[in-house]
Amino acid sequence: MILTVTLNTALDVTYRVPRLRAHASHRVTDVSERPGGKGVNVARVLAALGHEVTATGFLGGPVGAVVREGLAGSAVADAFVPCAGNTRRTVAVVDETTGDTTQFNEAGPVITPAEWSAFLARYADLVDDARAVALCGSLPPGLPVGAYAVLVRTARAAGTPVLLDTSGEALRRGIAARPELIKPNAAELAELTGSRDPLPATLDARRRGAQAVVTSLGPAGLLAATPEGTWQAAPPRALSGNPTGAGDSAVAGLLSALAENLDWPARLTRAVALSAATVHAATAGEFHRPTYEAVLTDTKVTPG
């Protein structure tokens, strides 16, 4: 089993409008809702790859009930812990003329110390049975900024490899607990290290505690600094489409390959292929399988 953790789970709501204009009323042409949050997206991709996957985190209130109902019909096992507060919503407004998306993200429910303790007990049980674990996304209000560091140490004590995908102070604290892998994007890496040059920044992030660092470079692919060396992996060509969720799919690729103990070039190839295939998918947490198979064959991984 592979475990994903989304402490600040969401109900993703998407509105489509003919054209988005400030200070104007809009006629919505389509509305969709689905369970969301980075770890939930990762879990869906893992399930589509054929892995047994369990998702945990917090769910609460009427919105949390909708998220739980949405997970009930999926291949993702629900191990979420209840909380008293209402699960957040993220609202995406898609401009059908330009293809641009405007995002509105709620903060999330306030988690009490008792709820955090209940989660830690559930997590300790789950991580014992997991082949790998991903810790994904923002922290909801009420949790200590070092929450991910606690979860990394618990996974390491259980002998379970852990991937951390977060940002800001939560990443800074979490990396000090020595996760097997972190996957920041270029902006998150620059915030962590103070450097906008990807290669020295990636190496710096690794010196801060992570055993390996894989940085997303957008259309240019991935840059990895690992104990076995550095690599850059890039898709064979630029792909047009919606990049929302591409980073989550890259995490799924890295995590599944980590659980399968593949070598680093194979891990990066899978992550790039899934990321590219998500650009051609309709929504986050999905990927276009023909694109995945094509890019998997043609991705180039070069020592860096």
Catalytically active residues are: 248
In whole angstroms, give the CA distance from residue 167 to residue 83.
24
- d(CA 83, CA 114) in angstroms, rounded, equals 9
Instruction: Output DSSP code: residue 211.
Output: S
119 in helix, strand or coil?
A: helix
Candidates 26, 23, 55; CA nearest to 38 is 55
Cα(97)–Cα(26) distance, integer angstroms: 13
Residues in CB range of 217: below 8 A, 6 or more apart: 186, 198, 223
Whole-angstrom distance, CA of residue 224 vs CA of residue 213? 6
Judging by beta carbons within 10 Å of its beta carbon (0-12, 13-18, 19+), is residue 33 exposed, middle or buried?
A: middle
Q: How far apart are CA 293 and CA 252, in angstroms?
A: 16
Q: Which residues pair with 5 in a beta bridge?
A: 56, 135
- Helix boundaries (H) for the chain: 38-48, 61-72, 113-128, 147-157, 168-175, 186-193, 198-207, 246-259, 264-279, 289-298
